[in-house]
Amino acid sequence: MTRRRTLWFVAGGLLVALLLAGVVSNFASSSPDGLDATTRKGCTTDADGNITGGTCIAQQEEDHQLKDSPLADYGIKGIDNEYLSTGLSGVLGVLVTFGVGAGAFWLVRRRGRPAGSVEPAASAGPAESEPAASGPVASGSAASEPAASGSAAPGVPPGGGD
């Protein structure tokens, strides 16, 4: 039951992320963000945003190495409709991020278990998980030898079996 709830929760979260990336991202502000504004402090700019004077970090700005990649500038190269390009780029980003995250969780989960093991069932108490010894105990077995402290009853391992 909890596995099904988890699956619905993850699917719902993925759906919300896809809607936000595909639809709401088109309504994001086109104004420069805080990082852009901070890097331009100390410089004067013209009406188009080009630096005309002063001293600021943005004067050392260079083109990114991936500026010609298919997903540069929050869009998909070759799609002329700006809204569709931005939305599809966001959806693709969410799917890639989800895939990488799911793969990482799968690897961590697999790494935590020994090879060939299966998930444990609901644990039963020690009395239910180990059958009680009945009849004569074979000689030389751990159960037939007395405990080092002498306080354990025959057939009970040292530590009380709890």
Give the integer Cα–Cα distance in Å for 37 and 21.
Answer: 24
Give 33-63 pLDDT, tens digit per residue: 778 888 888 988 888 888 888 899 888 888 8
DSSP state for residue 58 in the 8-state scheme? G
Give 98-120 pLDDT, tens digit per residue: 999 999 999 998 877 666 666 65
The pLDDT confidence band at residue 10, using thresholds 50, 70 and 90, is very high
Instruction: Label residue 21 exposed, middle or buried (CB < 10 Å: 0-12, 13-18, 19+).
Output: buried
Give the integer Cα–Cα distance in Å for 88 and 29.
Answer: 18
Phi/psi of residue 3, nearest 5 degrees: -65, -40
Q: Report the interhelical angle of 82-111 vs 2-22 (nearest 10°).
A: 150
